[in-house]
């Protein structure tokens, strides 16, 4: 009995004449990531990807569990299942179902059988497989009864071109579109809850991610940068390698604090961040900026404040969290395993020089007037001179 991993595609199958492009990108992403953890054969047929463990250089079979970890985080795969591959013979299918699903079935009270017969040459149709195998399993597991509406375990048999596949149900994959099918975006990453989730969400839509973080020593320390690295490493398990750019922001923040009206501090700071992020985005081939802003969450995320911020941008600004509330963002961060990192008490530069009474309904003309006291171009050049690059790998 050979164990395989089955991946089912989602949106990719709806891409019409461009479908091959999406499928090829998905397969390339999968093969590249599997190389990091072992030796595997990847094949594709009928909108299903098959992963089979091969022997590594030491002559040992590669770890199928590691392959599943990769598969679970692969953008473009909507479901993942571990299955036993067996010859297309009913008796062998039945024996394999008893053996392979024994742990789940022995603990359950209810079950059902689901069959999918893609190979129409198989002598039994799907209802016949379900009926025969259901009776066979009842004989071997007297603790079970059939529940076709809400079973604890679903034993699935898929009769396909190469073999029959038996498994005890699939689970949700990462979904979305394959990485690399929607261009490249520059995410403004802080150490909070929101921006890593925003990065993951745009990665899930097929974007290659670059990231930029602003540090303000001595107001922020190296722990804040390490926190961002750790967050991006979690995101990279789904989105692949991410280039992180660290930019010194102390001089800009001090200049704003010394020369601009306090209620405008945060908006002007955000405008500088967007200018610098856009400059780096253009230099690295990015086509948009990505932020973790949610409408109305804080004073700098009102409609008026966002409009003033976007006024300095010449490329699209994507805000995937704009309509979400904090609880929804927390739920996704827990799924990504970023929550515990995000709440570590290492503050980023966004908490430096925070105004006591920020302007929630600013007008662009008053922001531009306030910025007139600053050497905008000179401050940006000095900040760009501090730029450092870090490669974040899964």
Q: What is the pLDDT of residue 187?
A: 98
Q: What is the pLDDT of residue 196?
A: 97
CA distances to 138, 242, 308 from 67, rounded to whole Å, are 33, 21, 46
Answer positive or negative: Cα dihedral of 59, 60, 61, 65: negative
Alpha-carbon dihedral angle through residues 368, 372, 186, 304, given to the nearest 10 degrees: -20
- Decide if 61 contacts 54 (C-beta within 8 A): yes
Q: What is the pLDDT of residue 358?
A: 83
Residues in the chain: 394
Q: What is the pLDDT of residue 169?
A: 86
Q: What is the pLDDT of residue 355?
A: 79
> Of 365, 220, 188, which is closest to residue 290 (Cα–Cα)?
188
Q: What is the mean pLDDT of each run of 10 residues along the chain (394 residues)?
A: 92 84 95 95 92 88 95 97 97 97 96 95 96 97 96 96 93 96 96 95 98 94 95 97 97 96 94 98 98 90 93 97 96 96 84 78 94 97 98 92
Q: What is the pLDDT of residue 271?
A: 97
Q: What is the pLDDT of residue 348?
A: 76
CA distances to 22, 24, 75 from 178, rounded to whole Å, are 7, 9, 5
Question: What whole-number distance in Å separates Cα of residue 270 and Cα of residue 293?
Answer: 11
Answer positive or negative: Cα dihedral of 231, 202, 172, 70: negative
């Amino acid at each position: 009995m050979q164990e395989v991993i089955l991946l089912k595609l989602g949106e990719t199958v709806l891409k019409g004449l461009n479908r091959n492009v999406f499928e090829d990108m998905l397969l390339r992403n999968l093969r590249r990531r599997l190389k990091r953890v072992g030796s595997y054969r990847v094949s594709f047929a009928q909108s299903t990807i098959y992963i089979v463990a091969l022997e590594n250089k030491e002559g040992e079979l590669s770890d199928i569990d590691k392959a599943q970890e990769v598969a679970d985080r692969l953008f473009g795969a909507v479901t993942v299942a571990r299955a036993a591959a067996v010859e297309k013979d009913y008796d062998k299918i039945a024996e394999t179902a008893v053996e392979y699903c024994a742990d789940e079935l022995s603990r359950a009270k209810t079950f059902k059988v689901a069959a999918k017969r893609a190979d129409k040459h198989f002598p039994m149709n799907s209802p016949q497989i379900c009926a025969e195998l259901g009776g066979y399993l009842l004989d071997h597991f007297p603790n079970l009864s059939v529940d076709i509406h809400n079973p604890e375990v679903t034993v699935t048999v898929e009769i396909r071109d190469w073999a029959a596949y038996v498994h005890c149900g699939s689970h949700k994959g990462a979904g979305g579109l394959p990485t690399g099918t929607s261009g490249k975006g520059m995410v403004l990453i802080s150490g909070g809850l929101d921006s890593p989730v925003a990065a993951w969400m745009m990665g899930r839509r097929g974007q290659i991610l670059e990231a930029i973080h602003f540090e303000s020593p001595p107001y922020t320390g190296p722990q804040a940068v390490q926190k961002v690295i750790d967050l991006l490493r979690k995101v990279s398990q789904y989105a692949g390698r991410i280039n992180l750019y660290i930019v010194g922001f102390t001089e800009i923040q001090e200049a704003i604090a010394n020369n601009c009206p306090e209620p405008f501090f945060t908006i002007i700071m955000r405008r500088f961040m967007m200018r610098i992020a856009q400059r780096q985005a253009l230099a690295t081939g990015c086509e948009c900026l990505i932020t973790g802003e949610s409408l109305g969450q804080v004073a700098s995320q009102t409609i008026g404040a966002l409009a003033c911020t976007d006024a300095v941008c010449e490329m699209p600004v994507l805000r995937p969290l704009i309509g979400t509330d904090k609880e929804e963002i927390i739920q996704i961060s827990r799924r990504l395993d970023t929550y515990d990192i995000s709440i570590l008490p290492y503050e980023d530069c966004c908490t430096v020089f925070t105004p006591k009474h920020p302007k929630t309904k600013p007008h662009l003309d008053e922001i531009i007037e306030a910025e007139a006291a600053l050497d905008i171009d000179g401050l940006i050049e000095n900040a760009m001179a501090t730029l450092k690059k870090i490669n974040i790998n899964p």
